[in-house]
Each structure stands twice: as structure tokens, then as C-alpha cells.
Amino acid sequence: MHILHIDSAITGEASVSRKLTAEIVARLQAADASATVTYRDLNKGVPAIDTEWFHAVRLAPENPTAEQQKLIDISDAYLQEVKDADVLVIGSPVYNFTLTAQLKNWLDQIARAGQSFRYTEAGPEGLLKGKRAIIAYSAAGTPFGSDLDHASGYLRFILGFLGITDVEFVAADRLAMDRDAGMARAQEAMERIAA
């Protein structure tokens, strides 16, 4: 089993989602001693897609410039890490009722027609099938799954669009109201996740 461990919180060691992803990965490794891990900290910076990216990556010129090739290589590296993974463990703290900009940028980098999904006569088809995703969701005030939560539903949808339909959440929510209760809910969810 190969695990892709992704963090996106800006809060460093204080991050709840980082603690949760670390524990999830540790549990997966404990259940499978041969498991390997690739770690990606999105807080170190993920380029947002823009016009230059569109011309380099989406339009895929036959003879890209050096700058275009750099953009292609970055996007290819993100996507290859996902393709190589059996399990994705993704830290998704909620900022302003949705996912982090870094995580959205990463999703934009890997959502590529012909690479991670394709359009067919029957509609879009995800190409990243057979993978499992475990999302460590943390929020100070946003209740998981509520009308205020614009992160978890989007993550489930976009991962499914890319073919990853086995999506589970470990949610530590409403931490500002009752941190102990929020962490207890996350631990209960962690226990339910079969390794």
C-alpha cells in the first residue's frame, strides 16, 4: 500500500488537521508494515492555475517554452503522486466555511481532462479509480455536514468526479465551542475507519 499524505493547514504545530492526518497515516502503517508514504505539505505553496498554466498544461503545446515546461512539470508531479497512491490522507481545515486555497490550488492542478477524468458520450468519467481517500476535516465553528460547511461536500464531489469514490471523513468540528467534544468525535470516526 502506498499512501499520499497531504497537509494544507497554515497553523503549523497548532493544526488539528495535521495531528489527525499524522494519526491516520500512523494507523494505516501499523496495519500494513510494508506501507510506504509520500508526504506533501501544500502550505509550502501550490501555484494557482492561471492563463499561463492554461496555455502550457491545458493546451499542451508541442514545443513548450522553458517556462511552460516548468508549469507542466509541476502539475505532472502532483498528478503522478495521486496516480501512484492507493490511499490519500488529506488534511482539510475549514477557513471561511470552505477548504484552504492551497488545497483548492492542488485540486485544480490535478483535475486534468484526459489525465484524471475524461468526457464520454455518457458524461464525465473519473480516471483515478480504485483509490481510497480519508479526509481529516477540522473546523473551529463550522459543523461538519451542515449548510455552513462548503468544504466536505465539495471534496467528496470533486474526488468522485476524478474517480475516487471511496471517501471517508474524520471530522473534528465546532472546536471553538467545545474542543474536547470535537476531538472526541474525530477519535470516534478514527476508530470506525478500517485500516
SS3 assignment, position 156: helix
pLDDT at residue 194 in the model: 61
- Would the annotation count 15 as a binding residue? yes
Average pLDDT score, the chain? 96
Please write the tens of the pLDDT for every residue from 115-153.
Answer: 999 999 999 999 999 999 999 999 999 999 999 999 999
- C-alpha span between 83 and 116 (Å, rounded): 9
Q: What is the DSSP string of 103-153?
A: HHHHHHHH--BTTTEEEETTEEEES-TT-EEEEEEE-SS--TTSTT--SHH
**Lookup result for grid cell 472546536:** 175
Classify the C-alpha dihedral 73-78-83-85 as positive or negative: positive
Residue type, 152: S
Please write the tens of the pLDDT for every residue from 171-182.
Answer: 999 999 999 999
Please state whether beta strands 87-93 and 117-120 pair in parallel, antiparallel, or not at all (unpaired): unpaired
Architecture of domain 2-192: 3-Layer(aba) Sandwich (3.40)
Q: What is the DSSP letter of 98?
A: B
pLDDT at residue 192 in the model: 84
Q: Which parts of the chain sit beneath pLDDT 50?
A: none
The answer for residues whose C-beta is within 8 angstroms of residue 54's C-beta and 6 or more apart is: none
- C-alpha span between 3 and 6 (Å, rounded): 9
**Lookup result for grid cell 515546461:** 69
pLDDT at residue 24 in the model: 96
Residue whose C-alpha is closest to residue 163's, from 122, 115, 195: 115
pTM of the model: 0.95
